[in-house]
Amino acid sequence: MNICDKSKCTACYTCYNICPKNCISFENDEYGIKFPVIDDTKCIECNLCVKTCPANNESNFNKPKNAYATWSLDNEDRKTSTSGGLASVLYNEVISKNGVVYGVCMDENFNLNFERATHKNDLYKFKGSKYVQASVNDKFKLVKDDLENNKNVLFIGTPCQIDGLKFYLKKEYSNLYTVDLICHGTPPIGYLKEYIEKIINEKNINPSKILFREDNEYAFILCKDSTQNKLYYKSGFCDEYIQGFLNSLFYRECCYSCKYATNQRVSDMTIGDFWGLGLKEPFNHPYTGAISLALVNTSKGQELLYKCKDKLFMEERSVEEAIEGNAQLNYPSNRHKNYDAFREKYKQYGFVKAANQCLTEELRIGYKKYRKILIRKKLRNMAGIFIKKYRD
Ligand SMILES: Cc1cc2nc3c(=O)[nH]c(=O)nc-3n(C[C@H](O)[C@H](O)[C@H](O)COP(=O)(O)OP(=O)(O)OC[C@H]3O[C@@H](n4cnc5c(N)ncnc54)[C@H](O)[C@@H]3O)c2cc1C
Ligand code: SF4
Ligand code: SF4
Ligand code: SF4
């Protein structure tokens, strides 16, 4: 039995959490993409999974009320976050009032799972965007327990994960705050792991941490424990994984028709990069770091953001500016022209070769751009040395 149309399945884990017999698990198909599988020997045909699946139902969307350009006032927060560090400020606020928070955490074997946290010391593990699909596992059940125990709960995830949680809970909880990330698609975890495995073998390194951005630039970085201990670096311009991710080559099928890629949102607050900042009216601030967008979709979202106002720089902007500047708030990602070729090659050769062969154009252009950047940097350094010498 299929719970929903395979092309619409987001792997949100709602069916997995709702099943009274625990008879749903996830297995990879021939393209390395995971889908729910029912153990017929345990299934009692109650149909709950089908009835609760967000892909089989109309979702409840909210119209954004306000938009803000924002960033954390804490330097360390910003340095260790992908965008302006807003997620970290929201987590800290809820934890400091004895609440419970949920986010994704990558372990040392590069598995990406949702985790629950109740202490400030655990928040570091949620930091940074991981450009790959996370597993919710049984966390919706834990969220429900926390809510029923009158805990304030903050859950941050992709829109399909937030919607999955809402369908699972079936009713509104005043103590639940949901925040969705603007999302253009997620690749299966197996692709990332295969790619890392290749690098580990080629370079004979033993990393336990990955970063996808540095100094506001895309990059593929492998480190040991702390980011000070870098073992591998490749600029995002020349990296197969980053290029495939940015150019929509290998997401789940559902991402290309994502019902959440719209200006109506399923959560209390939507966060992302403020790409269109300054499009409608000038943004006159000397700050040069990454800037977060906070789209406030409900009064609960507004209340949460307001509570954090002392920890954030915040400037109200028009909702139109925020939406116009961010493609994912308007329509789903378009498939890369080599999407079908990638899938066929994946079956034959695996991820690394398939990605490399399908991205020759992007990599050629990327290497060219990267070389130009390096030359410019070198010239700037030489000019600096010359000026210093001349002055001295
Ligand atoms: C797969 C993906 C695609 C994205 N696409 C866009 C985009 O097209 N446009 C845009 O404006 N912004 C996009 N973002 C959001 C953006 O990169 C930042 O994550 C967001 O602005 C929050 O940044 P921050 O500095 O507040 O917090 P950060 O510390 O950078 O982010 C941490 C938060 O993100 C969550 N998170 C990280 N990785 C994942 C994941 N794989 N799945 C679920 N939750 C995750 C963490 O649990 C935590 O809550 C994307 C994020 C992801 C994960
Ligand atoms: S509930 Fe989620 S994981 Fe289960 S079939 Fe539906 S979309 Fe897929
Ligand atoms: S029909 Fe009921 S028992 Fe069977 S898999 Fe779905 S939820 Fe579980
Ligand atoms: S693009 Fe849509 S379906 Fe794909 S991971 Fe993001 S929210 Fe989920």
Q: What is the pLDDT of residues 242-286, one digit of tens each?
A: 999 999 999 999 999 999 999 999 999 999 999 989 988 899 888
Q: Which of 115-119, 229-233, 368-372, 384-388 has the lowest mean pLDDT?
A: 384-388
Q: Is the pLDDT of residue 386 over 70?
A: no
Structure tokens at 138: 């049984």
Domain layout of the chain by residue ranges = 6-56, 60-392
Q: Is the pLDDT of residue 226 over 80?
A: no
Q: Which of 130-139, 330-339, 373-382 has the lowest mean pLDDT?
A: 373-382
Considering only CA atoms, which residue is closest to atom 3 of ligand 4?
255
Provide the pLDDT for residue 391. 65
Please state, for a pLDDT cut of 90, what percent of the chain lies above it: 85
Closest ligand 4 atom, CA of 259? 2
Provide the pLDDT for residue 29. 97
Structure tokens at 124: 């570091």
Q: Is the pLDDT of residue 389 over 70?
A: no
Q: Ligand 4 pocket test: which of 7, 10, 335 has the largest number of ligand atoms within 8 Å of its C-beta?
A: 10
Distance of CA 165 to the CA centre of its chain: 16
Provide the pLDDT for residue 195. 98
Ligand 3 touching residue 179 (CB < 6 A): no
Q: How confident is the model at residue 6 (pLDDT cuts 50, 70, 90)?
A: very high
pTM: 0.95
Residues recorded for the chain: 392
Q: Which of 291, 308, 306, 295 is nearest to 268 (CA)?
A: 295
Closest ligand 4 atom, CA of 183? 6
| Distance from the alpha carbon of residue 76 to the mean position of ligand 1, in angstroms | 18
| Distance from the alpha carbon of residue 1 to the mean position of ligand 3, in angstroms | 10
Q: Ligand 4 pocket test: which of 129, 183, 267 has the largest number of ligand atoms within 8 Å of its C-beta?
A: 183
Pairing of strands 112-117, 100-106: antiparallel
Q: Distance (Å, rounded) from C-alpha 91 to C-alpha 163?
A: 20
Q: Ligand 1 pocket test: which of 129, 250, 262, 275 has the largest number of ligand atoms within 8 Å of its C-beta?
A: 129
Using only C-alpha atoms, the chain has a radius of gyration, in whole angstroms, of: 22
Pairing of strands 176-181, 153-157: parallel
Crossing angle for the helix pair 299-307 and 86-96, to the nearest 10 degrees: 90
CATH 2.120.10.30 fits 6-56, yes or no: no
Provide the pLDDT for residue 317. 96
Ligand 2 touching residue 14 (CB < 6 A): yes
| Distance from the alpha carbon of residue 15 to the mean position of ligand 3, in angstroms | 8
Provide the pLDDT for residue 280. 83
3-state secondary structure the chain: CCCCCHHHCCCCCHHHHHCCCCCEEEEECCCCCEEEEECCCCCCCCCHHHHHCHHHCCCCCECCCEEEEEEECCHHHHHCCCCCCHHHHHHHHHHHCCCEEEEEEECCCCCEEEEEECCHHHHHHHCCCCCCCCECCCHHHHHHHHHHCCCCEEEEECHHHHHHHHHHHCCCCCCEEEEEECCCCCCCHHHHHHHHHHHHHHHCCCCCEEEEEECCEEEEEEECCCCCCEEEEEEHHHCHHHHHHHCCCCCCHHHHHCCCCCCCECCCEEEEECCCCCCCCCCCCCCCCCCEEEEECCHHHHHHHHHCHHHEEEEEECHHHHHHHCHHHCCCCCCCCCHHHHHHHHHHHCHHHHHHHHCHHHHHHHHHHHHHHHHHHHHHHHHHHHHHHHHC
Provide the pLDDT for residue 390. 63
Q: Which of 12-21, 176-185, 208-217, 225-234 has the lowest mean pLDDT?
A: 225-234
Q: Mean of the pLDDT values across residues 307-329? A: 96
Structure tokens at 264: 């109506």
| Distance from the alpha carbon of residue 83 to the mean position of ligand 2, in angstroms | 29
Considering only CA atoms, which residue is closest to atom 4 of ligand 3?
43
Pairing of strands 269-273, 217-223: unpaired
Contact 17, 140 (CB under 8 A): yes
Q: Give the number of the ligand closest to the Cα of residue 36.
A: 2
Q: Mean of the pLDDT values across residues 189-202? A: 97
Q: Mean of the pLDDT values across residues 283-303? A: 93
| Distance from the alpha carbon of residue 386 to the mean position of ligand 1, in angstroms | 42
Q: Is the pLDDT of residue 127 over 70?
A: yes
Q: Distance (Å, rounded) from C-alpha 372 to C-alpha 250?
A: 28
As to burial, measured by CB atoms within 10 angstroms (0-12 exposed, 13-18 middle, 19+ buried), residue 232 is: middle
Closest ligand 4 atom, CA of 333? 1
Provide the pLDDT for residue 373. 86
Biggest distance spanned by C-alpha atoms of the chain:
83
Closest ligand 1 atom, CA of 105? 47
Q: How confident is the model at residue 387 (pLDDT cuts 50, 70, 90)?
A: low
Q: Mean of the pLDDT values across residues 336-348? A: 98
| Distance from the alpha carbon of residue 186 to the mean position of ligand 4, in angstroms | 6
pLDDT tens by residue, 27-85 = 999 999 999 999 999 999 999 999 999 999 999 999 999 999 999 999 988 988 888 99
Give the number of other Cβ atoms within 10 Å of residue 132's Cβ.
Answer: 21
Provide the pLDDT for residue 388. 64
Side-chain-side CA neighbours of residue 4 (13 Å) = 22
Ligand 1 touching residue 252 (CB < 6 A): no
Q: Ligand 2 pocket test: which of 8, 15, 23, 114 has the largest number of ligand atoms within 8 Å of its C-beta?
A: 15
Considering only CA atoms, which residue is closest to atom 15 of ligand 1?
272
The dihedral through the CA atoms of 28, 34, 35, 40 has a sign that is positive
Q: How confident is the model at residue 392 (pLDDT cuts 50, 70, 90)?
A: low
Q: Distance (Å, rounded) from C-alpha 262 to C-alpha 330?
A: 5
Q: Is the pLDDT of residue 225 over 80?
A: no
Q: Give the number of the ligand closest to the Cα of residue 16.
A: 2
Distances (CA, A) of 274 to 63, 170, 267, 271: 18, 32, 18, 9
Q: Give the number of the ligand closest to the Cα of residue 159.
A: 4
Distances (CA, A) of 5 to 136, 143, 161, 167, 253: 20, 27, 17, 17, 11
Between 59 and 224, residue with greater pLDDT: 59
Provide the pLDDT for residue 94. 98
Q: Distance (Å, rounded) from C-alpha 27 to C-alpha 109?
A: 19
Q: Which of 296, 288, 344, 300 is nearest to 322 (CA)?
A: 296
Question: Mean pLDDT across the chain, nearest whole number?
Answer: 94
Q: How confident is the model at residue 141 (pLDDT cuts 50, 70, 90)?
A: very high
Considering only CA atoms, which residue is closest to atom 8 of ligand 4?
160
Q: Give the number of the ligand closest to the Cα of residue 254.
A: 4
